[in-house]
Each structure stands twice: as C-alpha cells, then as structure tokens.
C-alpha cells in the first residue's frame, strides 16, 4: 500500500530538489527514502527504481525549462529572442544545477518524443526562422546553439572561467553577439 501523502509528483519534485543539493548523479531511491524518513520499499509503489526516478526528474526539468523558455520568448524576435533564450538556459543551470544535469539525461526515444524536449527544439527553430534559415541549415544551427549554450554553462559552472578576467557575463554577452552575427550571415554550403 502506498504511504499517505507520497505521490509520483511529490517524489519527483523532492528528487529534483535533492539533485540540486547533492548532484544529479547522487540521486537514488534510497536517498529519497531517507529524505522522507521512510523505508525504500514504500517508494516502490510509486517508482520502479533509481533510473525511473532519474527519468522522471529529467522530464520535470525539461518541462520547467521549456516553460521558462516560452515565457522569455513571448513577443521577442531576432537577437532579443536569441539572448532571452540563451539566458534562460544559463540562469536555469545556475539556479538548479542538479535539474540542469537531469535535463541532459539520455531518454528512450519514446520518452524523448513525449517530453518537453520537443518544445525546446520548436522554440529554437522559431528563433531561427527570424534569421531566415531553412533546412538543413536550421538543424545545424539548432545543434550549434545547443552546443554553445551547454558548453559555456558547463565550463562556467565547473569553475573553468573563475581564474581570469573579464567577467563571465561580458563573455556571455559577446558570445550571444557573435552567434547573432553568425546566424545573420550563415555560410552557404
């Protein structure tokens, strides 16, 4: 029988909070059970195993990130949209490092197709329509933006830029400027 008050949603949210506190790799059903002061077995009526928990946290994080992205993009276009979208990713990673790591989890094709990851791709493509890119250039540009955002955020969060000037915000702004210029002048194949 399921413990009163424990739901998949509550466990997922608590798992996401735990990921932010201790790191996504450290999240397990056992760690979550300790958080609720219950036996591990009592969580198995809600979760299959630790991988199931991690997948649920990943889906939760993708949904949160997509909601933030959609709100940030509303009414924006061009460089303004690009900068807002980039800032959403960077800010989310800084505020929720464990959830951001969860959002990078490789999902099964079925889970990925049903996830908010689809919304992320749609939002990125909406930004790129403002730069008049068509296929296959749009796909290349989606991959470029994802790589640059994730790469910079990962290096920054790992302390890779903390040893030197200028301030990382100045670099981030220049990266967005450079991406905007590149997208406006996308090279022909």
Residue 1 in this model has a pLDDT that exceeds 60: no
Give the pLDDT of residue 4.
55
Residue 3 in this model has a pLDDT that exceeds 80: no
Average pLDDT, the chain: 94
pLDDT digits (tens, 9 = 90+) for 74-83: 999 999 999 9
- Distance in angstroms (rounded) separating the CA atoms of residues 71 and 103: 18
Smallest CA-to-CA distance from 6 within 48, 34, 45 is with: 45
pLDDT digits (tens, 9 = 90+) for 140-183: 999 999 999 999 999 999 999 988 899 999 999 999 999 999 99
């Amino acid at each position: 029988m399921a413990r009163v008050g424990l739901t998949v949603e509550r466990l997922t949210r608590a798992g996401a909070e735990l990921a932010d506190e201790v790191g996504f790799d450290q999240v397990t059903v056992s760690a979550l059970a300790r958080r609720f002061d219950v036996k591990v077995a009592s969580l198995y009526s809600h979760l299959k195993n630790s991988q199931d928990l991690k997948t649920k946290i990943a889906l939760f994080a993708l949904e949160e990130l997509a909601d933030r992205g959609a709100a940030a993009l509303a009414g924006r276009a061009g460089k303004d949209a690009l900068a807002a979208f980039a800032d959403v990713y960077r800010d989310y990673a800084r505020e929720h490092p464990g959830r951001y790591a969860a959002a990078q989890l490789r999902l099964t094709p079925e889970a990925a197709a049903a996830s908010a990851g689809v919304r992320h791709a749609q939002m990125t493509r909406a930004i790129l329509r403002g730069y008049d890119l068509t296929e296959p250039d749009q796909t290349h540009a989606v991959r470029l933006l994802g790589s640059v955002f994730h790469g910079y955020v990962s290096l920054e969060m790992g302390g890779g830029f903390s040893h030197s000037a200028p301030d990382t915000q100045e670099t981030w702004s220049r990266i967005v400027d450079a991406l905007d210029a590149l997208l406006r002048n996308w090279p022909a194949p």
